[in-house]
A and B are shown apart, each in its own frame.
Chain A
Amino acid sequence: MTDLTSAELMIVNAARMLKDGDVVFVGVGQPNLACNLAKRTHAPNLVMIYEAGVIGAEPARLPLSIGDPTLVSGALSVVSMYDIFTNYLQRGNVDVGFLGGAQIDKFGNINATIIGSDYAHPKVRLPGSGGAQEIAAWANRCYIMTPHQKRRFPEKVDFITSAGYLDGKGGREKAGLRGKGPIGVVTDIGFMEPDETGELVLMALHPGKTAEEAVKNTGWALKVAAQLRITEPVTEKELRILREELDPAGIYLKGG
């Protein structure tokens, strides 16, 4: 499958981390495809929640924004934003959150706010948290999906928009966060997981990728597990669902 895109590789591997019955806080774009793919393969009982307040969405078409009307028609419930962030997320009723951002550091902290060192005078102003700050803190487990590029993986982020393992010294526990944090980072090269301090370590490679590539494209001295796993190849069925059913126009499947 030489024509597999980076996006397809990441989406399929992210989908496989979802368990049947998970309640998942879905983001628009690639995470949405991963969740819908999981629901149509190994996790038919996945409950998809969107931050716009939709519970148990079954989108009939590809949602193009976080508040697409297709999410509402046929959903289990629609609630206010205050309800979704309190009753569902803060209370502990969400199993999985998907996160991304401009920068992800060694401890899985994410920056989606500013590039530069001065908040008041940013070099680049990014969109900001949206729901990410609370999803990262309170979902039982989080996954990060991002192309493996050095500029995206600095040793330290310019601004912590959402918490990973903070300084690697038990920062999450001190703040009393209920969620486990980013337990997996899926890239187009492989898979990183936190060690006991929270430092992200290369644990798996996609078929044909090398540890050297991963190290070269990471902004800190990336540790590599002694026994690297190789991820299962993307199947014809997974690709067919993505390309023919979920995103036939290829809006989120092209590129990274």
Chain B
Amino acid sequence: MTKLIPLSEAVSQFVHNGDTVYAAGFTHLIPFAAGHEIIRQRRRDLTLARATPDLIYDQMVAAGCARKVIFSYMGNPGVGSLRIVRAELEAGRLEWEEYSHFGMISRLQAGAAGLPFMPMNQTGAVDLERANPLIKRVTDPYSGREVITVPALNPDVAIVHVQRADKDGNAHLWGIVGEQKEVAFASKRVILTAEEIVDEAVIRSDPNRTLIPGFIVCAVCHVPGAAHPSYAQGYYDRDNDFYLKWDKISENAETVKAYLDEWVYGVKDRLEYWQKLGAETHKRLKVKARYSEKINYGSY
């Protein structure tokens, strides 16, 4: 059964005020298009969970979508400070919950596996345990040693961008696959955006590359360029210039408002955004092909 619908419809149906949202992707395949659509539809009081909030949550927080953030590294990757989230935390206007990357990913792994919590070995750094009461300890019943635990994270909605999917939501991802699979299985609802919609036969030609099966997906949206200014391995490069530019834009409220007005509220959808980026940017982000060797699954 086809789940192929426009992104605006998917956000309208499956993202509600007050939801816990996890927009997946560690540097790679960050679903900016969905983030912008959530801003345009003016969702409020969201809890935004992501290992690295990245620019996508900086923009959503700036637009007033969030009540709380859950994170493990709150910076502008490779550039410096994530100015808006940081300023909101320092001013006490935004709630937060913090983990290490491993703690965050363990929460998702527990959520995906249907477990109540996940154990981790001790790290000796107990200040975060003191600061975050959800990080606890239990005694290992086998060795008698104490281990650290974090609770399962089961977001209301996962947003995952992939290179290709069929219309049922069976999805191929490659390159850095940080936590997409775990997020998809952990969440109650999954919105998929894809660079390409392909025939089911393409998916079936390489089943080991399918990280997300269609039957856990609510909506599939065909959104080429959805990850810009992050990237899609093999499709387009990371727009590092924009990450540097955001450092300047996010220095003051006026320029942030002007950015959101022009690039989020001022465009109808990702297609218009992508066209607005212009030929020069498209050319700068273009990548030369580098194919893997074919493998033989055998015909049985």
Contacts and interface: CB of A to CB of B under 8 A. Distances in A.
B123 A133 contact: yes
B176 A53 contact: yes
Contacts of A67: 26-28, 77, 176, 178
Contacts of A85: 101-102, 105-106
A11 interface: no
Given A65-B240, A80-B181, A82-B106, A125 B74 contact: yes
Contacts of A121: 92
A90 interface: yes
Interface stretch (B34-42, B231-239, B250-258, B269-277): B231-239
A66 B78 contact: yes
B260 to A, nearest CB: 23
A78 interface: yes
Contacts of B126: 160
Given A51-B101, A130-B72, A131-B102, A90 B121 contact: yes
Residue of A109, A125, A160 with most partner-chain B CB within 10 A: A125
A137 B101 CA distance: 14
Interface residues of B, number: 56
Contacts of B283: none
B105 A82 contact: yes
A227 to B, nearest CB: 31
A137 B238 contact: no
B233 A69 contact: yes
B75 interface: yes
B124 A171 contact: yes
Contacts of A72: 175-176, 233
Contacts of B174: 78
B86 interface: yes
A131 B27 contact: no
Contact of B177 (A53, A125, A130): A53
A73 B233 CA distance: 9
Contacts of A28: 77-78
Please tell me the size bucket of the interface on A: 35 or more
Residue of B89, B121, B174 with most partner-chain A CB within 10 A: B121
B124 A137 contact: yes
B73 interface: yes
Nearest to B109: A82
A69 B89 CA distance: 31
Interface in B141-184: 145, 174-179, 181-182
B123 A80 contact: no
Contacts of A159: 127
A122 B90 contact: yes
Contact of B240 (A64, A129, A133, A138): A64
A128 B125 contact: no
A124 B182 contact: no
B57 interface: no
Contacts of A51: 101
